[in-house]
Amino acid sequence: MKAYIFSILFSIPLILSSQTQSKYIVIDQFGYRPNSEKIAVLRDPLTGYDASESFAPSFSYAIVEATTNTQVFLGNSVPYNSGAEDPSSGDRVWWFDFSAFTTPGTYYVLDINQNLKSYDFVIADNVYEDVLKHAVRTFYYQRAGYAKETTYAGNNWADGASHMGNLQDTQARRWDSPNDATTEKDLSGGWYDAGDYNKYTTWTANYIVDLLKAYQEQPNAWTDDYDLPYSGNGIPDIIDEIKWGMDHLLRLQETNGSMISIVDLDHASPPSSATGQSLYGAVNTSCTLASTVAFALGSKIFSELGNTAYATTLQLSALNAWNWAENNPNVIWENNSASYNSVGIGAGQQETDNDGRFAYKMRAAIHLYDLTLDNTYKTYIDNNYQNMHLIQWNYAYSFEQENQETLLYYTSIPTATPTVANTIKNTYANAMNTANNFGGFTNETDPYLAHLADYVWGSNGTKSRKGLMFTDYVNYQINTINDDNALKAAERYIHYINGVNPLNFCYLSNMYDYGADNGVNEFYHTWFGNGTEWDNVQNDLYGPAPGYLVGGPNPSYNWDGCCPSGCGSETCDANQVARINGQPKQKAYDDFNTSWPMNSWEVTENSNGYQVAYIRLLSKFVDVSGSLSINEQELPNIIASPNPFKNEISITSEELLTYTIYDLFGRIIEKGECHQNCSIGKSITFSGFYFAVFNTDKGQKSIKLIKQ
């Protein structure tokens, strides 16, 4: 913060009368972790759809305990940028910083003089656990060929298994031979990609990789109790979801190692009512390389989980895919393209260019090297890493977070070439120390505290990737002096999505039962389409399922070119397009789901790509290891000291135990036995965070370790 904010605790609580809800007092609608930064944004709209409105905040603000209406913390509003209008939002803004207040509970922000309040929010260590669960549960609703039973989906979103009928996913045929039974393949499973039901191989592989890394980077975030059919099986539900996607990916692999690029599905609401034929596209190099990454990383993770047979299958698939791509480096095939006779197969275009194929090959080589330690891959990495955009441009940005992060992943492999690893980390350090990265944080470029230079289609996914750039900075120990600021910056992007934005809007769907007060009521999705029973939370029988992250503000949105009067019987709504076009870029959003010619998909459509980025970012701030497991109350007292430590940690226990130490990537650093007294951690050579998992006959306990 640039200005000093005076805050005190009340020595005598003040009981308040009822207050009026204000949409100009903006907070994370779910809440905050106790020790996290907490800043309420007070907004006065000057430009945009709400320019005729105004709000002048008082000087004195309070945090009020919601159940008793008791003031528990007092502070002042401070103008942002000396009261100047922010062009990205069209707002004049003040901040009320209550970071010093850390007591768990349910509260609201109060403008004392005007008796106006924010939405209620929670302060708790586990404030995001339910949000994470529902964000992950959307993949259950996106599953193709999998029944959504009432027990798990409720009456609102129960549906039979989709695309399992005659000539559908288990009997899919080639796009150019729909009547040729000899082309039939079982390509069932996988996920609907977004609001459309098509299954794109490259993107599916990318989603799997993000979910794998979400688990690998923060294993203590994941539990087995998401109220899904596979909950309670002893495996974290995210791993069950990953395997569902991976099994589909395996079905897409041809015997020569190449990968089928797409499966085009029929569309209807609900999904089980779709009866049209499923057709698959040709193979190409890009999706084969992308799948190599997923197979290789999956093999590593499933091996560590003890599923060695599945890990072996994935490793073989990874090697076969790599070998085919090596021999076929430029096989291109575009879906939904007249040039490839594929019009109508899929919607979004997943084929990439030469740079894109090269980046996928680098990512594949890095994860194959990590899996096999075969120097063939290491040589390729060391000879080619300088051609990656991060190194070429000395620039890090959110549109290439996945490529940047994979280069950083190479630096974490113990046998990586030291000079290459140092170059990558130093380049990333310099690239992050720029105006749009750490500069946006330290200079407080955005009054809503989540700076993004470019708002385009899918900006909420881009925001999530931006947050991940800061957690990557911490995970790969770029400069530990800046870790606190990096984590603070990353968490600000979560707050933005959860409500700290000019719309005072939670960008997750139908989360009213889980803490949100003003959020997504409808969005573009075939199942939850305009005019269906799942159309709108407020106006229709069911509304969409909870937890979907929508695209977000998109200043480039426009209606179809046939508008305003050339679209036949379809309506062009000038008021709707004006609500988004010409707005300040952070306000270029509206809650609507009308299809062509209004093209709401450019603004509100969900995507599994946005979803995995948000899930991965949010999971960094969820840690269930502090909660007692079923048997943990019976565990003997385990004392680990000193912690933080320099050389080793002394363990004191009442009985025999075994221990395993993991790094933040889920790699095993050290394991052994301990009886009453022992020393552990001698194998840890790098400073940072680690986790020790202790097992006795009575249960399991996890302790976070800090190496200085």
CATH code for position 511: 1.50.10.10
Here the tokens at position 415 are 């046998």
- Domain boundary (307, 324, 352) is at 352
- Asked whether residue 595 falls in the same domain as residue 647, the answer is no
We report the CATH number of the domain holding residue 640 as: 2.60.40.3080
pLDDT, the chain, mean: 93
CA-based radius of gyration for the chain: 26
CA 58, 519, 89 angle in degrees (round to 5)? 55
The answer to whether 372 and 303 have CB atoms below 8 angstroms apart is no
We report the CATH number of the domain holding residue 53 as: 2.60.40.10
In a domain, 411, yes or no: no
The answer to whether 76 and 59 have CB atoms below 8 angstroms apart is yes
In a domain, 376, yes or no: no
In a domain, 415, yes or no: no
Cβ atoms within 10 Å of 322's Cβ, excluding its own: 25
Tens of pLDDT, residue by residue over 571-612, are 999 999 999 999 999 999 999 999 999 999 999 999 999 999
Query: What local confidence, expressed as pLDDT, does residue 324 receive?
Result: 98
**Where does 53-192 have alpha helices with state H?**
129-141, 150-157
- Domain boundary (74, 107, 123) is at 123
Tens of pLDDT, residue by residue over 142-170, are 999 999 999 999 999 999 999 999 999 99
The answer to whether 319 and 296 have CB atoms below 8 angstroms apart is no
- Asked whether residue 76 falls in the same domain as residue 157, the answer is no
In a domain, 403, yes or no: no
Tens of pLDDT, residue by residue over 241-277, are 999 999 999 999 999 999 999 999 999 999 999 999 9
Domain count, the chain: 4
In a domain, 367, yes or no: no
Decide the pairing of beta strands 31-32 and 121-123: parallel
Query: What local confidence, expressed as pLDDT, does residue 371 receive?
Result: 98
- Domain boundary (123, 155, 181) is at 123
**What is the sign of the dihedral through the CA atoms of 403, 408, 412 and 415?**
positive
Q: Could you list the residue range(s) of the whole structural domain that residue 202 is in?
A: 129-352
- Cα separation, 634 vs 637, in Å, equals 9
Tens of pLDDT, residue by residue over 479-490, are 999 999 999 999
In a domain, 392, yes or no: no
In a domain, 221, yes or no: yes
Tens of pLDDT, residue by residue over 19-34, are 999 999 999 999 999 9
In a domain, 142, yes or no: yes
The rounded percent of the chain whose pLDDT value lies above 90 is 85
pTM for this predicted structure: 0.88
- Asked whether residue 494 falls in the same domain as residue 540, the answer is yes
- Asked whether residue 118 falls in the same domain as residue 146, the answer is no
- Asked whether residue 76 falls in the same domain as residue 191, the answer is no
Query: What local confidence, expressed as pLDDT, does residue 629 receive?
Result: 32
Gap between the terminal Cα atoms of the chain:
28
Tens of pLDDT, residue by residue over 648-678, are 888 888 778 888 887 655 567 888 888 878 8
- Asked whether residue 648 falls in the same domain as residue 531, the answer is no
- Asked whether residue 556 falls in the same domain as residue 703, the answer is no
- 587: nearest Cα among 95, 98, 53, 2: 53
- Asked whether residue 553 falls in the same domain as residue 675, the answer is no
Query: What local confidence, expressed as pLDDT, does residue 1 receive?
Result: 34
The answer to whether 195 and 526 have CB atoms below 8 angstroms apart is yes
Please name the residues in contact with 354: beta carbons below 8 A apart, sequence gap of 6 or more: none
Residue 179's SS3 state is coil
- Cα separation, 361 vs 288, in Å, equals 9
Residue 14 pLDDT level (bands cut at 50, 70, 90)? low
The answer to whether 139 and 243 have CB atoms below 8 angstroms apart is no
Asked if residue 4 has pLDDT above 50, the reply is: no
